[in-house]
Structures are given as C-alpha cells and as structure tokens.
Amino acid sequence: MRRDGLEEEHCLQMSAVARQRQRVNIEERKLLKREFYMDKHQSIAEGMYWNKAIETASATEIQQIQLERLQKIVQYVSQSNRLYKTRFDRQGLEPANIRTLEDIRLLPFMGKADLEEDYPFGYCCVSRDRIREIHLSSGSTGKPVVMFYTEEDLDQWATCMARCYNMAGLGKGTVLQITPSFGLFNGGFGFYHGARKAGFFVIPAGPGNTLRQIQLANDFRADAIAGVASYGIRIMEVMREKGIKITSLKKGLFGAEVASREMKKRLQREMGIEVFDIYGMTETGGVGTTGMDCHAHDGIHVWEDHYLVEVVDPDTGQPMADGQRGELVFTSLTRTAFPVIRFRSGDLSRIKSRSQCECGRTHLRIDYIEGRVDDMLIIKGVNFFPAQVEEVLMSIPGVREQYRIVLTERDGAKDAYLEVEVEEGIVPGRIERELRQVLGFSLDIKTRRPGELRRSAGKARRVIRLGDPEE
Ligand SMILES: [Zn+2]
C-alpha cells in the first residue's frame, strides 16, 4: 500500500515537474521567436519560399502528386533493377496493383541490410555513365550503404536544400560556412549543392581547426553556419574559452545527430543564433532531403512531394496512428539512380501535424527525432535514449555539453555510468537527483573538469562500451 502511495506521489511530482518544464518551454519558445522575428529578421515574418505553390499546396493536391509519383516510381524500379523486380515478384505484386496511397502497404520494406546486398551496385537503377556522384554511410554488417546520384538527383537534392534554406529565412547572397567534411559523408556536399542553387556565398571550411573557423566566419561575415550539432557545440566551447563571438552569425542549420531540445537552446542562447534541425539520411539522398523545421520550431516539415513518410511499429511493421510514436519509413518519389521504396530508417518519431503550419506550409510535420531504434539502452530493466539523459543534463546550469554514457558488463549483467564535464561546485548527487526526478531512474555519475573528455570532429560518440578503443 505504502509503495503504491509513494509511486502515486512520485507520479504527481513527475507530472508537476513535466508541466512546469512544458510551461518554461512554451515561454522560452515565445521569447526566442519574438526576439528573432521582431529584432533580427523582420523579413522572415513575411515568409520566404523556394516554391510557394508546392510548399503551400492543399492536402488533396499533394496526395494526388504523391499517388502519381508512387505509381510511376514503382513501375520504374521494377523495370530498371532486377533486385526490385525479384522482391515484388516474391510478393506476387505488379506495379499496377498500386491504386491508392494506402496500397503502399502492399510493397515490401527495405532495411539497411537489404541495401548492402550485391554491393556496390545492388539497387542502382541507372547505367554507370549516368552517375555523377556517390555518398556512403556505414551499413549494419560493416559493408557501406551506397547512394548514387544522377544529374537529376543532384538537382533534386539541391532543390530540397534550397527550400530548407529559404524556410530558415536565408535568401540569395547569404554567406554560409559549411563545416562537415567534403567527402563520402553526404553533409558537406549536400549543404554545398543547395547553397549553389540558392545563390549563396559559400565558405567551404570543412571540419576542424575551430579557432580558424571562427576567424573565417568573422573575416567574411558569415550569416549562417551548417554542420552536425556536436560541431556547433565545439565552436560554442571555443568561443566561450577564448571570449570571442561571431557577430554576423544569425542562423545555424544542424543535422545528422539527435540533439536534445535543451542542447539546441544552449546553442541559441550562447551563440546568439536561431537553430534549425535539418533532417535527411544517405538512403533518402542526403541532408535536407526529408526536410527541416521552420521558424515556428514545432516539428520537421517533410517534403511530401518528394518523399512519402509512414510511421510503423518497429516490432510488427504495422502502421501507427498519427500522434503515436514509431519508426519512420521513407519512399523516394522523385529520385532516379536509387529511389528507396519503404526504407525503414530506424529513426523514432511521430506524425505531429498534417494541418497548415503558421509558416504557411502544408507539408506534414514529424516530431523531432527522439532516437534510433538501435540507440535505445536497457539498463537495470529501464529503457531510455541518450537524448533523454542529455535533455536533463543540459537543463542544469553548470553542467557542460560534453558527456558520455559508458556501458559496462560484470558477470553478464549490463550496467552503465555517466561521465560528464561540469563547472566547479556541481556535485554528482545533484545530477543524480535531477535524472531521477525527470526520468524516474539515475545512473552513477563521474564528474570531469571542462576539457577532460575527448572531442570528435565529426558526429559525437555519446555511448561507448568500457574498454572500446577510442577513435
Ligand atoms: Zn512551418
């Protein structure tokens, strides 16, 4: 009985805390928006679209485009690639069976493992002479996933990116500093192709040498910076250490990593920029292809005329109702070299809204990515995502942005502890209490001095196994 009472009390406390956090979030959002709308970027309020007709098309119009394109792409892949043909044959499926958008469910899913089949040219639908570029990502079995681009695909990518740039209020003449590497990872080139299309002045800085990056941004008066979120954090740290600012910088477009809302808020506050969450993966054709959040910062607009998104139960593959969390599944409707059909992304989110957004766009919004199916940690019977831990850490003043969850195993029992950089005066007990209060459980905490944990130039490694060699 007593236990029940305690649990109830805990739940009440939790919901009070949750309510308070929600209130704070809403207030801060209003404040940030007002600041950015009114003082800095008056023009954004008027709206900036790359293609207003399509970005604000009615749901019926979009669905009609989607159906036509879906029918066409299924026919196309089945004619141009034997792996696709075999997969459809196995299901006894003809392209003509796709009569409505719901009929997409007749098509088989694809996962990373399928994409590695027949490496390197497996699902490529065009002859080699039409390929202009490739990008790779790591596969599930060690073989990379290859994305091929024809001239048309590069243009599709650039168009999606140009829409994202305009959605962030960045128009012709914007000075953009691009910080991901220009290589096999799609980030550097993706930002670049889009920036060329949108008419930007590009600083192709690439990663690393952070002090020089800051100097470059100041010398050329960069308006915006693009990269992975953890590199944004690195720039913020160096600015803090050296006591310097990038006075011209107004916006940051960050992607490729699950960054918590609290982390984004810190970036906004300390760098004095508006932060956008840009979404896309190698399999859909790279950064920005599947969308970004707008200045309302209330979820990510998916470019629905180019991609069909479904949310399914990660275990059963059954469709989830709007609002319910599940795995995102993408179908490329307009790509030529390698259009994925029902690709299971591994990213967990939900359909947040299908109604018109305050920015005027009608393309549906998904919630910010909560984590990846394979990122979920189960420690002492509790399931959680690293981003949930980050959210709590970043809400505690004096806790720095570098942390990592170290997984351990003793006699077959899995455990974990958390290493986190803190300023003087922050004790482990304080962090443990906060984690317990919000998440209902805690981890053993080992505090570190600022600068002690290893930084990476690319994506941050937030979870490591004890004894794993560090890169
Ligand atoms: Zn919007």
Q: How confident is the model over 369-386, as pLDDT tens digits? A: 988 888 888 887 778 888
* 126-141 average pLDDT score: 89
Query: From ligand 1's centre to the CA of 49, what distance in Å?
Result: 11
- pLDDT tens track for 393-443: 888 999 998 899 898 887 777 888 999 999 998 888 889 998 888 888 788
What is the rounded (10 degree) CA torsion for 335, 336, 338, 343?
30
Provide the pLDDT for residue 313.
Answer: 96
Using DSSP, state whether 275 is helix, strand or coil. strand
**Domain 376-465 part of CATH 3.30.300.30:** yes
DSSP code, position 25: H
Give the domain 39-373 fold.
Rossmann fold (3.40.50)
Distance 5 CA to ligand 1 centre (A): 44
Helix ranges (H only) for 243-290 are 261-271
Give the residue extent of every domain in the chain.
Answer: 1-35, 39-373, 376-465
Structure tokens at 344: 């299971």
Residues 147-200 have pLDDT tens digits of: 999 999 999 999 999 999 999 999 999 999 999 999 999 999 999 999 999 999
Is the Cβ–Cβ distance between 315 and 283 less than 8 Å? Answer: no
CA of 30 to the centre of ligand 1 (A): 15
Cα-to-centroid distance, 296 and ligand 1 (Å): 6
Going by pLDDT thresholds of 50, 70 and 90, the confidence category of residue 114 is: confident
pLDDT above 90 covers a percentage of the chain that reads 61
pTM assigned to the model: 0.82
Distance from Cα 365 to the centre of ligand 1, integer Å: 8
8-12, 140-144, 290-294, 422-426: least confident range: 8-12
- Residues lining ion ligand 1 (Cβ < 5 A) are 294, 296, 357, 359, 361
Ligand 1 centroid distance, CA of 346 (Å): 24
